[in-house]
Structure 1
Amino acid sequence: MSDSGELDSVLCPQCRRDLPRSEFHSNRRRPNGLAYYCKRCAAERSEASRRRRGISAQRRAPVPVPDGSKWCPDCETIKPLTAFARTRASASGYHSYCLLCHNARGNETKQRLYGGSREYHLRRRYGVGQADFDEMLAGQGGVCAICGAPDPQHVDHDHRTGWVRGILCFNCNGGLGQFRDNPVFLAEAITYLKGTTWQRVLIHPGVFQMCSPMRGRPPSRSS
């Protein structure tokens, strides 16, 4: 027994061997902080489970992998750890596949399950599909719901509830976001523009003059 009161060896219930604590994976949810089975038995049970589910056996690097590197089973290449995305779900702290293969797998899945990245993006973020998008756009006459620009491509939604409100062009969608979807801010912006923008004023029948409440102030250098 160690000075901390922990047993120096632990019994694996499958292989019935007393093994050092280093032969067990960590598991904070268990009283002793270790996994139920030793590493070898846990690997055997995992592989047996994969076979029962019809999943092919895990592939291993044919040669030793140096420190600071990792083997990608898709491209079968040893690459530096910087070529792998980080993840807390893995004991190594990195994804099984390199960035290139990981992205390729993601694109293949999106194509196979959703018919493409566009459908995947719409369903994952807004809960609508391309067919719903096309229907909403047709209901708007094929133009932006605010400015009337043709062929808008951005889904506008309420950030509090998630409900989709309409289809907007890039500028209008970004404008609402900059004003934080606040009608008061938008109304104040309208009042501000009316009070500062040059306007045509009728001074005689058929005669207009450009006037501005800001007349008398020097123009900006960019004017």
Structure 2
Amino acid sequence: MSDLPEASDRVCPQCGRSLPASAFHRNKRRPDGLAFYCKTCAAARSEASRRKHGIAAQRRAPAPVADGLKWCPDCQQTKALEDFPRTRKGSGRHSYCKPCHNIRGRESKERLYGGSREYHLRRRYGIGQQEFDELLAEQGGVCAICGGADPQHVDHDHRTGWVRGILCFNCNGGLGQFRDDQARLAGAITYLRGTTWQRVLIHPGVYQMCSPTRGRPPSPRS
């Protein structure tokens, strides 16, 4: 009888054992569709890498956890599954409960981006606080539409993602409500011209306030 491994077996280069395909994780990027190391060695290598990078060992629940419950490694409390954020991976719930998950998120944003503001700008608009300040300075420190002081909202083209300027809350919200549609904005201007008092030039240097040409007066009982 031959001592050669069966065709379905593979030799793990870490431990040197001949193991069936089921002992290896799947990897679609490799020709045979299997990971390079067996599951046991892969886990050991991953753990060693975590220790090398200063990541503490993963905590385990001190006692078995009943169905419908989950143990949080940070606060070390057993809570209902609803107390853990949802995820599409694994068990469908994150490893840490919502309060601990939020604390970790804030710490990560502070460590990687210097704060939530920088994280928000980078993630949503592709710019940082420095680019924000430079753009605002180019506008003279005021809203690019109404000229209001201290605008804090980034306006961008929803189709291309290109940042267009810094606006105040009202102007930014107004553009959003009008869906960045020039025809809608032009229609709104035309509408206002016919329903609000207008300053009309009747003689060089002389203006008259003209009353609306449409609409109805308010009810006396209002």
Is the 1:203–1:209 Cα contact (8 Å) retained in structure 2?
A: no
CA distance in 2, matches of 1:158, 1:143: 20
| Letter aligned with residue 46 of structure 1 | A
- Structure 1 residues 161 and 60, CA gap change in structure 2 (3 angstroms): same
| Letter aligned with residue 59 of structure 2 | R
Following TM superposition, by how much is the alpha carbon of 1:222 offset from its aligned partner in structure 2, in angstroms?
Answer: 9.4
TM-score of the superposition, structure 1-length normalised?
A: 0.76
| Letter aligned with residue 78 of structure 1 | T
**Counterpart in 1 of 2:96?**
97
Q: How does 1:14-163 map to 2 (within 5 A)?
A: 42=39, 45-53=42-50, 54=52, 55-89=55-89, 91-163=90-162
Gaps of 5+ in 1: 1-10, 30-34
CA distance in 1, matches of 2:177, 2:24: 49
- Structure 1 residues 93 and 206, CA gap change in structure 2 (3 angstroms): closer
Following TM superposition, by how much is the alpha carbon of 1:218 offset from its aligned partner in structure 2, in angstroms?
Answer: 3.9
- Structure 1 residues 44 and 194, CA gap change in structure 2 (3 angstroms): same
SS in 1 for 2:85: strand
Following TM superposition, by how much is the alpha carbon of 1:200 offset from its aligned partner in structure 2, in angstroms?
Answer: 5.0
Show CA shifts across 1:81-125 (max 9, x none).
111011111x21110111111111110010011110000100111
- Structure 1 residues 96 and 184, CA gap change in structure 2 (3 angstroms): same
TM-score of the superposition, structure 2-length normalised?
A: 0.76
SS in 2 for 1:113: helix
- Say if 2:163 is the partner of 1:170: no
| Letter aligned with residue 81 of structure 1 | L
CA distance in 1, matches of 2:140, 2:108: 33
Show CA shifts across 1:141-169 (max 9, x none).
11000000100000000111111000000
CA distance in 2, matches of 1:64, 1:118: 41
Is the 1:51–1:57 Cα contact (8 Å) retained in structure 2?
A: no
| Letter aligned with residue 130 of structure 1 | Q
SS in 2 for 1:79: strand
- Structure 1 residues 16 and 61, CA gap change in structure 2 (3 angstroms): farther
Is the 2:197–2:209 Cα contact (8 Å) retained in structure 1?
A: no
| Letter aligned with residue 49 of structure 1 | S
Is the 1:146–1:172 Cα contact (8 Å) retained in structure 2?
A: yes
Gaps of 5+ in 2: 1-8, 29-33
